[in-house]
Chains A and B, each alone.
Chain A
Amino acid sequence: SYAVTQPPSLSAAPGETARITCGGNNIRTRRVHWYLQRPGQAPVLLIYNVNNRPSGIPERFSGSISWSTATLTVSTVEAGDEAAYFCQVSDTTGDLPVVFGGGTQLTVL
């Protein structure tokens, strides 16, 4: 089945830009979504279908994709952005349509 990989951790200072990656074979041919999870809370949908934001999600969060890597960009990082970020790939070509990455813990310095 399809697999995606994320770096386990990333750090950024307030005001900087953080880029969280999600790697997978030919990931550009799949739908990629991103979630934020704060400690003790359920995940929240941040980005769907590569670069679409649900209502209420700030423009500071954006997504992009290349052939092998999807990227979540967090611009002007704030202290409240400290959380775990998960990518999720929709793969309707096989028998596992939902695959999550292992998550990246963003630490705001």
Chain B
Amino acid sequence: QLQLQESGPGLVTASETLSLTCNVSGDSVSSTDYYWGWIRQSPGKGLEWIGSIYGKMYYNPSLRSRVTISVDTYKNQFSLKLSSVTAADTAIYYCANSYSNGYWYFGHWGRGTLVTVSS
């Protein structure tokens, strides 16, 4: 069964770059069946899609200039980098996959990892 697990620092200094990795098990990150993506949730707030990758990258326009998503096929992982972070980037970050049918619904999610931006 496909499983996703986020990892990375729980504390990031303001103006620095947030870096997270999502380990994929139960399928290959090279699979053409899925887009691999990141979604975040600020404390007590709703969900915000950050971006996804399927060959090319798809980004939330509000975060486009600061986001990079990449895939490491050897480690079966994909990663998120968010630069120039501020307190507003404090959130639970989830990795998730959506199907390549283009319908953009997220069938598998990691448990999420809390990232706090400190000043």
Chain A interface residues (CB < 8 Å from chain B): 1, 31, 33, 35, 41-45, 48-49, 54, 86, 88, 90, 92, 95-103
Contact = CB atoms under 8 A, between A and B. Distances in A.
B47 A42 contact: no
Contacts of A92: 102, 104
Nearest to B61: A95
Contacts of B60: 96, 98
A42 B105 contact: no
Interface residues of B, number: 20
A97 B46 contact: no
A102 B46 CA distance: 5
A98 B94 contact: no
Main secondary structure of the interface of B (DSSP, over half): loop
B105 A33 contact: yes
Contacts of A44: 109
B47 A100 contact: yes
A93 to B, nearest CB: 12
A1 B112 CA distance: 26
Given A86-B47, A101-B46, A102-B46, A96 B105 contact: no
B103 A100 contact: no
A70 to B, nearest CB: 13
B107 interface: yes
A44 B110 CA distance: 10
Contact of A42 (B48, B58, B111): B111
Given A1-B61, A95-B61, A97-B58, A45 B106 contact: yes
Nearest to A43: B109
B105 A45 contact: yes
